[in-house]
Amino acid sequence: MLFLARLVGAAGCLVAALVAGALAWIGQEGRGPNAPHIAEQTGYAPAVYALLEAGRLAVPPSPPSADDIAYLLKRAPLSDGAPGLSGLLALSEGKPEEANRRFTEAVRRNPRNRAARVWLADRALGSGDAAGAIAHLDSLTRLDRSRTDLWVDALVLVARLPGGLDALRRRLEASDEPPAWSLALVAKLNSSQLALDDLEPLNRLTPQTQASFLQRVAAERGPATAYRAWKAFLPDASAEDITWPYDPGFEGKPGPAPFNWTLSSNLAELSARGGLDLSYLGRGRVPFVEQTVLLAPGRYRFATRLSGESAPNGGGFTWEAACKAPASLLGKVEIRDLTYASETFAFAFSVPATGCEAQVLTLLGLPGEFPARARAAIASVEIEPLEDEAPR
């Protein structure tokens, strides 16, 4: 333990002594004075990795100097960490071009050399080489999975380079299965200040992030724009003849939230035969499923067909329709005294002419006089216009 503590402490001192030289060299490569560096972003500069990879060597207790690094190389010139230490030695001697050659050779000889990968990734970032930075960071995410979050932070820097988003898109398209870091990266970019139009191509490639992207679109540009973006994510066949609610039979049609069903509880699951199976413990207003819909102003009838079982005076269910923003209840139906015979429950509601651009349908658990389990199998839901008023 004492040896490891000494090793990490020495690495930290070495970073302070050597990063200045690295940053000065990078500045000469055309990087702006305020541009971020991968070493600064992640806290893991080449010096740290070079020493960690040479961990079985004796590290002097004082901060290592160029002579100390040369001593380490002399002790084990064929070790896995030697190529990285060689590049680090050149860097400490003020020879950045020589350091670059040695780090490049280190990766050629040992593609798993993390010290060299960090240096080369930072150099690529500084010179605007987005593809090169992505390649090295992609390797680092596989070589050091425990610090994937740090490498994702560095990939965010790549996304800000001219052409960086296109380079990331090409990397995601390069294989049948996107890299493991893609979801975390796109999710972070969705919450950044990058333009929505620029982020849309990446979200096409990562369906798991589309809900957060659409949430931002709705917040910044409104639900109608979010709906158009959502429809563009659907396969062509699913995007034709959309009616509300989408996927009325709970068949698991493709498409992200909010314009598809969102299951909010592990007590709700889609049945393999179609439909929605629910199990409610009878405690609290538990949300099970919801969907945002876009209905034109007018009168509507909501109907659901289901079967199940419930205890007298125990828990049940309720479907509610409400304006999404500002939130206001439009109508609801309470469902109790369930039997295994399929029944239809319905209610009418009105969408006002203003102030209700989007609506949300929600199915919740409804407590009874005492907690008792209720089960239900929702076969379908539908919304029909009343008084010849049709939804858009």
> Any bridge partners for residue 328, and if so which?
323
Residues 211, 77 within the same domain = yes
Residues 127, 68 within the same domain = yes
Residues 212, 340 within the same domain = no
Residue 352: give its domain's CATH number. Answer: 2.60.120.260
Q: For residue 368, tell me if it sits in a domain.
A: yes
Last residue of a domain, one of 216, 232, 250: 216
Last residue of a domain, one of 216, 249, 279: 216
Residue 206: give its domain's CATH number. Answer: 1.25.40
Which pLDDT score is estimated for 17?
A: 30
Last residue of a domain, one of 216, 249, 270: 216
Which pLDDT score is estimated for 49?
A: 45
Q: What is the pLDDT of residues 45-74, one digit of tens each?
A: 444 444 444 443 344 334 456 676 676 677
Residues 75, 187 within the same domain = yes
Q: How many domains does the chain have?
A: 2
Tell me which range, 69-73, 148-152, 243-247, is most confidently predicted by mean pLDDT. Answer: 243-247
Q: Compute the CA torsion angle 322, 323, 329, 334 (nearest 10 deg).
A: -10
CA-to-CA dists, residue 30 to 35, 124, 165, angstroms: 10, 11, 21
Tell me which range, 9-23, 101-115, 314-328, is most confidently predicted by mean pLDDT. Answer: 314-328
Residues 30, 151 within the same domain = yes
Percent above pLDDT 90 for the chain: 49
The boundaries of the domain holding residue 26 are: 2-216
Residue 112 in tokens: 């798993």
Residues 322, 175 within the same domain = no
Q: For residue 268, tell me if it sits in a domain.
A: yes
Residues 186, 279 within the same domain = no
Q: What is the pLDDT of residues 69-103, one digit of tens each?
A: 676 677 767 665 677 777 777 877 778 888 888 88
Residues 211, 143 within the same domain = yes
Residue 268 in tokens: 């709700």
Residues 6, 82 within the same domain = yes
Residues 158, 37 within the same domain = yes
Q: What is the mean pLDDT of the chain?
A: 80
Q: For residue 70, tell me if it sits in a domain.
A: yes
Q: For residue 253, tell me if it sits in a domain.
A: no
Residues 69, 183 within the same domain = yes
Q: For residue 108, tell me if it sits in a domain.
A: yes
Q: What is the pLDDT of residues 206-228, one digit of tens each?
A: 999 999 999 999 999 999 999 99
Q: For residue 243, tell me if it sits in a domain.
A: no
Q: For residue 242, tell me if it sits in a domain.
A: no
Q: DSSP per residue over 255-304, as a string?
A: --SSSS-EE-STTEEE-TTSSEEEEE-S-S--EEEEEEE---SEEEEEEE
The answer to whether the CB of 52 falls within 8 A of the CB of 15 is: no
Q: For residue 21, tell me if it sits in a domain.
A: yes
Residues 15, 149 within the same domain = yes
CA-to-CA dists, residue 245 to 264, 266, 323, 391, angstroms: 17, 22, 15, 11
Residue 350 in tokens: 């009105």
